[in-house]
Amino acid sequence: ITDRMSIDNMTNPQNSNFVCEFPGCTASPFATQYLLNSHANVHSSARPHYCSVKGCPRAEGGKGFKRKNEMIRHGLVHDSPGYVCPFCPDREHKYPRPDNLQRHVRVHHVDKDKDDPLLRGVLAQRPDGPNRGRRRRG
Beta-carbon count within 10 A of 71 CB:
18
How much is the pLDDT for 12?
56
| Residues in the chain, overall count | 138
pTM of the predicted model over 0.75? no
How much is the pLDDT for 128?
53
Buried b or exposed e, range 28-66, using 16+ CB within 10 angstroms = eebeeeeebeebbbeeeeebebbbeeeebebeeeeebbb
The one-digit pLDDT tens for each residue of the chain (138 residues) are: 444 555 555 555 556 789 999 999 999 999 999 899 888 888 988 888 999 999 889 999 899 998 888 898 888 778 777 889 999 988 777 788 888 899 999 999 999 998 999 999 998 886 554 454 444 555
How much is the pLDDT for 110?
93
Q: Which residues face 94 on adjacent strands? A: 84
How much is the pLDDT for 36?
92
